[in-house]
Structure 1
Amino acid sequence: MRDCFYCFLLFSAMLTGLTSCKNKLEKSARIFIHFPEAAGDTVIIGSTNMISLEGTELAKVRLDSAGKGVLEVEVNEPVFTYINNGKNMAASLLIAPGDDCEILAAEPGAGFPLHFAGDGAAVNQALNECQQLRSAFDKWNGTYSFQLEGNVFLQARDSLQKSYDQLIGKLKVSNDVTAEKLDLLKRHAAMHIIFYQYNFALGKDSSEIPQSVWHVVNQFPVDTIALKAGIFDYGMIASFYYNNKINNAIYEENNGLDEDTLQANFPLLVEEKIKAAHYPKIIENFLRVKSAHIQIGWSGLTPELRKLTKKLEQEISSAGAKSVIREDVARWEKLGPGKPAPDFSGMTPDSKRLALSDLRGKVVYVDVWATWCGPCVGAFPDSRKLQAKFKGNNRIAFLYVSIDRDTLAWQKMVVSGKVPAGHHMLNGPDEAGSVWNLYHLRGVPHYLLIDDLGRMVATHAPHPSASHTAEELQSLLAAAVARSENQPRMRRIKGMPATAKNSAW
């Protein structure tokens, strides 16, 4: 009897082990790679964070000397992913729990360098052919799609739609092509068609936009499946919709409010507008977090936005959404008032090196600009007036940082006298240590304010034309003088706007 009992326990343990293994496999997708040209390379598989639109690494593998390796990813439902080695191997993948996919080198002369086999092979082949179509339709008869006349754009859009329909129409539901994956592929194409129209309409007057396109871009497509599956274009559409339909609508609806009152209430007004649309909860929360992320990107962590982030932390359940907001808060807290200002350097017009730290001991008003930026150049007369108020004061420095990639264009403009006098440097946006990346800039002109001790005062300093800009600079100078005389004095720095009205992109 005892032996039978032990046998029963052993059988139960084996059954439990088999069940656990089965559950593990059902919650995972495996991608087998055989691509000799990438031998020794590290290949990653990632997905898109729909809030930040940044890639999230899911797994990685270093291929052996034959270009072979296996990626295993835990997935609870079908999701769009991508793989790449940073060189010659890149593809989009739609994977689902339990999938065993293969990625192989394509035959010589094939239109796409990779070949797919295993689970979902036909869908993944079609997905990457759709991506190729997408690139081909960025231009129509040699002209970028967003630069086309309305009636010509409609021809391009309809032709792209027809091409997608023909490509996807060849797929039939089978053991390899599940109904669920086929539906997701159709949604993927549909979201790109919508994005294609959003991109065309951006910055145009309503009279320039065909009626059928105007109808599409004036409403947000509610698609919970597209959101859950991580369709990149859906995240892009949400960003465009916030910037051009929610943000700007609030400005238009509240044009009677003074600027300070509007900025103080802006995050609340965004929340009210999103909730008034009565979207499904998952879409509502997605747009709430997306809008907060964009506002923080434009305005930094203002008191109003800090309050909103705490509210979202309590009310949003999505771990992915929470992680974005937490990263936003952590990123901007490093640049909070009193924190050390990250140092950066660049080339002066006479080809010398200048660093922010070289100006330590002075209050520094930083103007980040570019030669091609109309508003930047348009603000220079106000900058001259602001400088004139501090003429002869060597405790203050006006630093003009150009993000131009065209060195000659920058040098010519500075030498021409169109740019105000002061300290000048060229600091391109591509390097990790650039002002653009260190201070998380989203556009120019942008202004920073740093005290004489090299500490942050404001990441979103006031425009040179603002009535209180000179007052704030004077307050900082007074504090600097007091410190030098060993007589501490209190000062107050006025808060900055919570957001910025978006002009046409």
Structure 2
Amino acid sequence: MKTILRTAAFCLFFLLSSLGFSQTNRNSTALLQINCPACIGQKATVNTMDLISMNEVKLVESRLDSMGRCTLEVPVSGPLLAFILLGESTVPGQDSVYHLYLEPDQDLTLTIQGTPTFQGQLGVANQYLYESSRITRLVNDQANKLVDTFRNLTAQEQQKIQDAFGTEFKPFHRTISEDTRISQKAKEMLIQDGEFYVQERGLNFLDRSPEKLEQEGTYEASLFFQTIPVKPEWLAMNMYNYGALLNKRVKFDLDLAIYYALKKEGKEKNTDTLAILMEKAILENTRTAPIREYLLAINIKRMLREFGATPTITQLFDRFKNLYPDSRYTATLDREFDKYQGLGEGKEAKDFIATYPDGKEFRLSDLKGKVVYLDTWATWCGPCIGEFPASKKMIEHFKENPEVVFLFVSIDTNLEKWKAYLKSGKAPKGIHVNQNTETQAPGTALYTLYRMSGIPHYIVIDQAGKIKVNKAPGLLMRNRTLCWMVC
């Protein structure tokens, strides 16, 4: 009798477990329908963002049928921010990109005939998300226009811009908060996503002078830990704007705070100490414990990209894996380490060939014996041009030092446009060469050799031809690196 009862109990347990498992599977997808008569035969790809690499990750793809329709079952384990790319290009922005808010077991229909419309259980929230994307583009254009002029404005003018920046979102967010058709969770997502974007872009308009940073520099990095938003649910949702804000705050308010604290004691040249102290500060702070795993992961990524796969950075990663053996961020960090194994501090700089404006050949190895500051740019790159005024100040600072050479490598394919820009006098003084990426043999392009993910990209190489920093992230840090070497 006991055997029969045990068998029955086991069968009941198995049945309930199976039902529970089936329910989990059923709820792990969101149904997305696309209706675009003008997109017949085109590819439809749903991606989300990897918040460590800040690159897109493919979730599912299909092709629109002869009527311009397709249905995709998107794997989701909880609320998720994603985007759909319609077209053959793998580069967002080259075709049609629409941001998406998805939830398990919820349906959504996107119809593209003129202005895109969203319908279904998540239709209202996604219609708001579409409008939010439009406002984001306006704010982004405004921010880009201010980059070149903001530093030259009076303090009163700067304050006026800071107060007005991003206010386009306010009436829109008020409308969202009053809409009873969407859940409270969706409202918070829509409002905070916009607010995080404004905060992240607004960091470009704060006073980041070395004098102010040195005054605020402490090992506790109080400004960072007391003011960053702690929202682990938005990390789980893959909210790009939240991840971008945390990344920039780690750079501006954590890294520089500890760097200037070290500088007060004359220890700022020790990059290993900086990396270890940043890890220590993150581990010891209790307020940010809910997002500690992410902060440690992006600290490792930033140190890896700035200093390469040094023994100290490798040790940071080993400790991270011991602390979080099942971390969702480990796989991305593994891939990042694979990329930078040969590009870390002390590794031989990879030689490349380029051409001077007069057509003569240039080789990086020709500059061995000098400290080389390498700026990769193009005439079509707004952020590259936007950095030139700051680069000119750095060149002026080192003009009496013959050990330092400033090398500007253009990747323009239109050589006449590049030469015309140089003749205009707008470019900083230094050595100017061009490497046309369209004519380079496979594996020989500067862009490929140094694992560039975009431009501008800055590299510092020492007198022995060894990499000091690959992808130096900001003017203060690039200036800092040069001073470590020759000041």
Instruction: Report the equivalent of 2:430.
Output: 419
Q: In 2, are the aligned partners of 1:297 and 1:440 still within 8 Å (CA)?
A: no
Instruction: Report the equivalent of 2:206.
Output: 201
Deviations along 1:287-334, one digit per CA (max 9) or x if unpaired, are 111112112111112221121111112212454311222112111114
Note if 1:90 corresponds to 2:97: yes
Q: Match of 1:68, as an amino acid? A: R
Instruction: Report the equivalent of 1:58.
Output: 59
Q: Please list, as runs of the form range in 1=range in 2, the aligned pairs for 1:57-456 lying within 5 A after superposition.
A: 57-85=58-86, 86=89, 87-106=94-113, 108=114, 113-138=115-140, 144=146, 147=150, 149-166=158-175, 168-169=176-177, 171-173=179-181, 177-201=182-206, 203=208, 219-259=227-267, 262-317=270-325, 319-335=327-343, 344-352=352-360, 367-369=373-375, 372=388, 373-374=391-392, 377-378=395-396, 381=399, 384-385=402-403, 400-403=407-410, 405=412, 407-408=418-419, 412=423, 419=430, 425-427=433-435, 434-440=445-451, 446-448=459-461
> What is the distance in 2 between the residues matched to 1:429 and 1:289?
33
> What is the distance in 2 between the residues matched to 1:65 and 1:338?
57
> What is the distance in 1 between the residues matched to 2:279 and 2:16?
51
| Secondary structure class of the residue paired with 2:117 | strand
Q: Shift of residue 90 of structure 1?
A: 1.3
When residues 344 and 66 of structure 1 are mapped into structure 2, their CA distance, relative to the original with a 3 A threshold, is farther
| Secondary structure class of the residue paired with 1:460 | strand
Q: In 1, are the aligned partners of 2:99 and 2:130 still within 8 Å (CA)?
A: yes
Deviations along 1:51-77, one digit per CA (max 9) or x if unpaired, are 222211111112223222222222111
| Secondary structure class of the residue paired with 1:221 | coil
Q: Match of 1:267, as an amino acid? A: A
Deviations along 1:407-447, one digit per CA (max 9) or x if unpaired, are 22675599x99536xxx631378999642453146866523
Calculate the TM-score normalised by the size of structure 2.
0.72
Q: In 2, are the aligned partners of 1:40 and 1:63 still within 8 Å (CA)?
A: yes
When residues 341 and 61 of structure 1 are mapped into structure 2, their CA distance, relative to the original with a 3 A threshold, is farther
Q: Match of 1:37, as an amino acid? A: A
Q: Match of 2:250, as an amino acid? A: Y
Q: Shift of residue 258 of structure 1?
A: 3.7
When residues 304 and 188 of structure 1 are mapped into structure 2, their CA distance, relative to the original with a 3 A threshold, is same
| Secondary structure class of the residue paired with 2:477 | coil
> What is the distance in 1 between the residues matched to 2:459 and 2:37?
48
Deviations along 1:165-211, one digit per CA (max 9) or x if unpaired, are 22x135214xxx3343233223323323433543432647999xxxx
Q: Match of 1:165, as an amino acid? A: R
Q: Shift of residue 232 of structure 1?
A: 1.3
Worse-superposed segment, 21-30 or 427-436: 427-436
When residues 71 and 251 of structure 1 are mapped into structure 2, their CA distance, relative to the original with a 3 A threshold, is same
Q: In 2, are the aligned partners of 1:300 and 1:459 still within 8 Å (CA)?
A: no
Instruction: Report the equivalent of 2:9.
Output: none
Deviations along 1:24-67, one digit per CA (max 9) or x if unpaired, are 22111121112122222222111112222221111111222322
Q: Match of 1:306, as an amino acid? A: T
> What is the distance in 2 between the residues matched to 1:246 and 1:368?
26
When residues 275 and 364 of structure 1 are mapped into structure 2, their CA distance, relative to the original with a 3 A threshold, is same
Worse-superposed segment, 243-252 or 273-282: 273-282
Calculate the TM-score normalised by the size of structure 1.
0.70
> What is the distance in 1 between the residues matched to 2:34 and 2:200?
32
Q: In 2, are the aligned partners of 1:61 and 1:71 still within 8 Å (CA)?
A: yes
When residues 318 and 377 of structure 1 are mapped into structure 2, their CA distance, relative to the original with a 3 A threshold, is farther
Larger radius of gyration: 1
Q: In 2, are the aligned partners of 1:364 and 1:399 still within 8 Å (CA)?
A: no
Q: Shift of residue 237 of structure 1?
A: 1.0
Q: Please list, as runs of the form range in 1=range in 2, the aligned pairs for 1:462-481 lying within 5 A after superposition.
A: none
When residues 407 and 143 of structure 1 are mapped into structure 2, their CA distance, relative to the original with a 3 A threshold, is closer
Structure 1: runs of 5+ lacking an equivalent = 1-10, 208-214, 387-397, 452-456, 463-495
| Secondary structure class of the residue paired with 1:272 | helix
Q: Shift of residue 95 of structure 1?
A: 0.3
When residues 296 and 155 of structure 1 are mapped into structure 2, their CA distance, relative to the original with a 3 A threshold, is same
Deviations along 1:332-381, one digit per CA (max 9) or x if unpaired, are 1143699886564433222255566xx69x88975413693326634774
Q: Match of 1:185, as an amino acid? A: L
Q: Match of 1:446, as an amino acid? A: I
Q: In 2, are the aligned partners of 1:195 and 1:233 still within 8 Å (CA)?
A: yes
Q: Match of 1:32, as an amino acid? A: Q
> What is the distance in 2 between the residues matched to 1:181 and 1:417?
48
Q: Shift of residue 223 of structure 1?
A: 1.2
Q: Match of 2:191, as an amino acid? A: K
Q: In 2, are the aligned partners of 1:251 and 1:501 still within 8 Å (CA)?
A: no
| Secondary structure class of the residue paired with 1:24 | helix
When residues 338 and 192 of structure 1 are mapped into structure 2, their CA distance, relative to the original with a 3 A threshold, is closer
Q: Percent identity?
A: 17
> What is the distance in 1 between the residues matched to 2:437 and 2:227?
34
Q: Match of 1:180, as an amino acid? A: K
Instruction: Report the equivalent of 1:483.
Output: none
Deviations along 1:211-246, one digit per CA (max 9) or x if unpaired, are xxxx99972111122222121111111112111111
> What is the distance in 2 between the residues matched to 1:339 and 1:503?
21
Structural RMSD (CA): 4.5
> What is the distance in 2 between the residues matched to 1:205 and 1:161?
33
Structure 2: runs of 5+ lacking an equivalent = 1-11, 151-156, 213-222, 378-384, 481-487
| Secondary structure class of the residue paired with 1:92 | strand
> What is the distance in 2 between the residues matched to 1:128 and 1:172?
18
When residues 264 and 56 of structure 1 are mapped into structure 2, their CA distance, relative to the original with a 3 A threshold, is same
